[in-house]
Amino acid sequence: MNDLDPLAARELLVEQVRLEAAGVVSLRLVDPDGGELPPWAPGAHIDLRLPSGTVRQYSLCGPLDDSRSYTVAVLREEHGRGGSAEVHDTGLVGRVLQVRGPRNHFALVDAPHYLFLAGGIGVTPILAMVREAAASGASWELYYGGRSRPAMAFTGVLSAIGAERVHLVPQDEAGLLPVAELIGAAPPGSAVYCCGPEGMVRAVTEACTDTRPGALHVERFTAPPGGDVHSTTDARPFRVELRRSGVTLDVPPERTLLDVVREAAPDVAFSCEEGYCGSCETKVLAGVPEHHDTVLSDEERERGDTMMICVGRAASELLALDL
């Protein structure tokens, strides 16, 4: 495949499915013709369209120098929305799946020290970051919590990268990660990277707010608690122009932008509909977007050239999108 546009949809072959821990499998995806794939950096994820049509987001966690395959890992969620069960229960080896990305809103910033905090399957983007930090000679430390050792994926790989810097904290042996203590003890100027369950993310966020404002970088599995991203209390009507489709539509207060857009562009990508996964990210060509997602940084929101249309609206009367 010669097209390396990361935003383009491409068909990739599931070459391997491998058990990485109790309830966790990894998938290795390759171009069916053996071509190179778009490059990526730690923190990037891809959108994977499963055979049922369900779209889910998975962080890339394979070797950074492998330009011909993507590796993702999937935890089976017994009470999830069905995507992980489909990955685990469907014979995917030899199947061709549609992939979009990679996209990255969880990138490594320059810092004198990195404190990595991973919980459960949240280790997947952190694994890539640890590889990068170790390869570059950066100062770093990882604390990785999980329910039990058998349920913690990639422990051997991580220990091989830096055994003295990798601290495994199985909950059944040592309890929860002491996040406030760890953050308080990190060297001055540390960047804190966290990915894990919402309870862990919330605890880390609170600890950083108190002691290290601006140091925290997080990626969520779910929308944060509190607030209604689809509230229509203060919503205003606006119009949306879909430049490539050549149509302009009205978006009333009681409907989401995504819902209206799908009338003219039914194949537009989306998944969570709560503003945390990034699947529906769309380029803004004109107008002022009103952001309600938890994906974009303050700088990206200020630029106003992209938005999550599942929860975003318009602060201007007309919004033009690249759709």
* Both structure tokens of 279: 């699947």
Q: Is the pLDDT of residue 311 over 90?
A: yes
pLDDT in the model for residue 2:
41
Distance, CA of 175 to CA of 146 (rounded, Å): 9
CA angle at 58 for the pair 57 and 61, rounded to the nearest 5°: 160
> Comparing 64-68, 152-156, 201-205, 267-271, which segment has the lowest mean pLDDT?
267-271
Strands 191-195 and 216-219: parallel
pLDDT band at 309 (very low <50, low <70, confident <90, very high): very high
pLDDT tier at 226, thresholds 50, 70, 90: low
Phi, psi for residue 269 in degrees, rounded to 5: -75, 140
Q: Evaluate whether 316 touches 238 at the Cβ level (below 8 Å).
A: yes
pLDDT(9) > 90: no
Distance CA 82, CA 209 (A): 34
What pLDDT, on the 0 to 100 scale, is given for residue 230?
A: 60
Q: What is the pLDDT of residues 51-62, one digit of tens each?
A: 999 999 999 999
Query: 48-52, 96-100, 220-224, 257-261 — which is least confidently predicted?
Result: 220-224
Q: Which of the four pLDDT bands, split at 50, 70 and 90, describes residue 32?
A: very high
| Alpha carbons 138 and 113: distance in angstroms, whole number | 7
pLDDT value at residue 1: 39
